[in-house]
Protein backbone atom coordinates (compact mmCIF):
# COMPACT_ATOMS: atom_id res chain seq x y z
CA UNK A 1 0.00 0.00 0.00
CA UNK A 2 1.10 3.48 -0.77
CA UNK A 3 1.69 5.83 2.08
CA UNK A 4 0.73 9.46 1.68
CA UNK A 5 3.29 12.07 2.60
CA UNK A 6 0.64 14.64 3.54
CA UNK A 7 -1.79 14.16 6.34
CA UNK A 8 -5.53 13.88 5.53
CA UNK A 9 -6.37 16.85 7.68
CA UNK A 10 -4.03 19.80 8.01
CA UNK A 11 -5.16 22.05 10.84
CA UNK A 12 -2.97 24.95 9.67
CA UNK A 13 -4.63 25.21 6.22
CA UNK A 14 -8.20 26.51 6.08
CA UNK A 15 -10.33 29.32 4.67
CA UNK A 16 -11.99 32.23 6.36
CA UNK A 17 -15.68 31.91 6.90
CA UNK A 18 -16.21 35.68 7.14
CA UNK A 19 -14.77 36.79 3.75
CA UNK A 20 -17.54 36.43 1.17
CA UNK A 21 -21.11 35.64 2.00
CA UNK A 22 -22.44 33.64 -0.94
CA UNK A 23 -26.04 34.14 0.17
CA UNK A 24 -25.68 37.96 0.05
CA UNK A 25 -23.98 37.81 -3.35
CA UNK A 26 -26.77 35.61 -4.72
CA UNK A 27 -29.46 37.93 -3.33
CA UNK A 28 -27.70 40.94 -4.86
CA UNK A 29 -27.54 39.20 -8.29
CA UNK A 30 -31.22 38.28 -8.15
CA UNK A 31 -32.15 41.82 -7.10
CA UNK A 32 -30.06 43.36 -9.87
CA UNK A 33 -31.65 41.07 -12.47
CA UNK A 34 -35.13 41.96 -11.19
CA UNK A 35 -34.28 45.68 -11.29
CA UNK A 36 -33.02 45.42 -14.89
CA UNK A 37 -36.16 43.59 -16.02
CA UNK A 38 -38.45 46.11 -14.30
CA UNK A 39 -36.55 49.08 -15.76
CA UNK A 40 -36.80 47.60 -19.28
CA UNK A 41 -40.54 47.10 -18.86
CA UNK A 42 -40.95 50.69 -17.63
CA UNK A 43 -38.96 52.02 -20.61
CA UNK A 44 -41.04 49.93 -23.02
CA UNK A 45 -44.24 51.31 -21.50
CA UNK A 46 -42.97 54.94 -21.64
CA UNK A 47 -41.93 54.66 -25.31
CA UNK A 48 -45.18 52.93 -26.22
CA UNK A 49 -47.31 55.60 -24.55
CA UNK A 50 -45.27 58.43 -26.11
CA UNK A 51 -45.59 56.83 -29.54
CA UNK A 52 -49.36 56.52 -29.19
CA UNK A 53 -49.59 60.11 -27.99
CA UNK A 54 -47.55 61.32 -30.98
CA UNK A 55 -49.77 59.42 -33.39
CA UNK A 56 -52.88 61.04 -31.87
CA UNK A 57 -51.39 64.56 -31.97
CA UNK A 58 -49.93 64.33 -35.48
CA UNK A 59 -52.30 65.44 -38.23
CA UNK A 60 -52.92 62.88 -40.97
CA UNK A 61 -51.10 63.41 -44.27
CA UNK A 62 -53.55 64.50 -46.98
CA UNK A 63 -54.00 62.13 -49.91
CA UNK A 64 -52.91 64.75 -52.45
CA UNK A 65 -49.56 65.17 -50.69
CA UNK A 66 -49.06 61.41 -50.59
CA UNK A 67 -49.70 61.13 -54.35
CA UNK A 68 -47.50 64.12 -55.23
CA UNK A 69 -44.67 63.21 -52.90
CA UNK A 70 -41.48 62.19 -54.71
CA UNK A 71 -40.96 58.45 -54.91
CA UNK A 72 -37.16 58.69 -54.91
CA UNK A 73 -34.89 60.80 -52.75
CA UNK A 74 -33.18 63.79 -54.35
CA UNK A 75 -29.81 63.52 -56.10
CA UNK A 76 -27.16 62.30 -55.39
CA UNK A 77 -28.47 58.84 -54.63
CA UNK A 78 -26.54 55.85 -53.39
CA UNK A 79 -25.79 53.12 -55.87
CA UNK A 80 -28.19 50.22 -55.33
CA UNK A 81 -25.84 47.76 -57.08
CA UNK A 82 -22.27 49.07 -57.48
CA UNK A 83 -20.98 45.83 -59.05
CA UNK A 84 -23.56 46.00 -61.84
CA UNK A 85 -22.78 49.68 -62.42
CA UNK A 86 -19.06 48.89 -62.67
CA UNK A 87 -19.69 46.08 -65.20
CA UNK A 88 -21.86 48.41 -67.28
CA UNK A 89 -19.22 51.17 -67.20
CA UNK A 90 -16.46 48.75 -68.23
CA UNK A 91 -18.58 47.42 -71.12
CA UNK A 92 -19.23 50.97 -72.33
CA UNK A 93 -15.51 51.80 -72.10
CA UNK A 94 -14.58 48.63 -73.99
CA UNK A 95 -17.11 49.48 -76.69
CA UNK A 96 -15.62 52.98 -77.10
CA UNK A 97 -12.02 51.77 -77.03
CA UNK A 98 -12.35 48.69 -79.24
CA UNK A 99 -14.85 49.64 -81.97
CA UNK A 100 -15.04 52.09 -84.83
CA UNK A 101 -17.35 55.06 -84.42
CA UNK A 102 -17.97 58.67 -85.34
CA UNK A 103 -16.68 61.41 -83.08
CA UNK A 104 -17.83 64.27 -85.35
CA UNK A 105 -19.43 63.19 -88.65
CA UNK A 106 -19.67 66.77 -89.96
CA UNK A 107 -15.90 67.28 -89.77
CA UNK A 108 -15.08 63.67 -90.69
CA UNK A 109 -13.50 62.73 -87.35
CA UNK A 110 -13.70 59.02 -86.54
CA UNK A 111 -12.77 56.88 -83.59
CA UNK A 112 -10.46 53.91 -84.21
CA UNK A 113 -9.94 50.87 -82.03
CA UNK A 114 -6.77 51.09 -79.97
CA UNK A 115 -5.09 48.14 -81.71
CA UNK A 116 -5.69 49.65 -85.16
CA UNK A 117 -4.44 53.09 -84.04
CA UNK A 118 -1.24 51.52 -82.67
CA UNK A 119 -0.68 49.69 -85.96
CA UNK A 120 -1.08 52.94 -87.93
CA UNK A 121 1.34 54.80 -85.64
CA UNK A 122 3.83 51.93 -85.92
CA UNK A 123 3.66 52.06 -89.73
CA UNK A 124 3.56 55.82 -90.35
CA UNK A 125 5.03 57.26 -87.16
CA UNK A 126 3.63 60.08 -85.07
CA UNK A 127 2.26 63.08 -86.96
CA UNK A 128 4.47 66.17 -87.08
CA UNK A 129 2.71 69.33 -86.01
CA UNK A 130 3.75 72.76 -87.26
CA UNK A 131 5.34 75.03 -84.68
CA UNK A 132 3.04 77.75 -83.45
CA UNK A 133 3.49 81.07 -85.22
CA UNK A 134 5.72 83.43 -83.35
CA UNK A 135 3.93 86.24 -81.62
CA UNK A 136 5.36 89.74 -81.10
CA UNK A 137 5.70 89.01 -77.40
CA UNK A 138 7.85 85.94 -78.07
CA UNK A 139 10.15 87.93 -80.41
CA UNK A 140 10.99 90.50 -77.76
CA UNK A 141 14.27 89.91 -76.01
CA UNK A 142 14.08 89.56 -72.25
CA UNK A 143 15.69 92.39 -70.37
CA UNK A 144 17.82 91.87 -67.33
CA UNK A 145 16.51 93.52 -64.24
CA UNK A 146 18.74 94.76 -61.47
Q: Are residues 61 and 30 in the same domain?
A: yes
What's residue 126's pLDDT?
87
Using the CB atoms, write b or e for 69-87: b if 16+ within 10 Å.
eeeeeeeeeeeeeeeeeee
Task: Give the C-alpha distances (Å, rounded to integers) separating 52 from 41, 48, 56.
Answer: 17, 6, 6
Is 3 a domain residue? no
In the three-class reduction of DSSP (H, G, I as helix; E, B as strand; rest coil), residue 97 is classed as helix
Residues 92 and 61 in one domain: no
Q: Give the residue numbers spanning the domain of 28.
A: 24-69
What is the phi-psi region of residue 125: left when phi exceeds 0, alpha when psi lies from -120 to 50, beta otherwise?
Answer: left
Answer yes or no: is pLDDT of 144 > 70. Answer: no
86/65 same-domain check: no
Domain count for the chain, please give it.
2
Query: Is this prediction's pTM over 0.75?
Result: no
The answer to whether residue 56 sits within a structural domain is yes
Do 59 and 91 fall into the same domain? no
Question: Domain for residue 136, yes or no?
Answer: no
What pLDDT score does 127 carry? Answer: 82
Q: Let me know if residue 75 belongs to a domain.
A: no
Residue 103 lies in a domain: yes
Instruction: Please report whether residue 34 resides in a domain.
Output: yes
- Domain-embedded: residue 111: yes
Whether 61 is in a domain gets the answer yes
Measuring CA to CA, which residue among 73, 109, 111 is closest to residue 93?
111
User: pLDDT for 56-111, tens place per residue?
Assistant: 998 888 888 888 888 888 888 888 899 999 999 999 999 989 999 999 999 999 99
Amino acid sequence: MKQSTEPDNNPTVSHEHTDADSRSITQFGIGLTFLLIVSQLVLWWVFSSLSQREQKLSPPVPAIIRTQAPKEPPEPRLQPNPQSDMRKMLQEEDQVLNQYGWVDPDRGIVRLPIDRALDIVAQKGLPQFKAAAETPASKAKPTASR
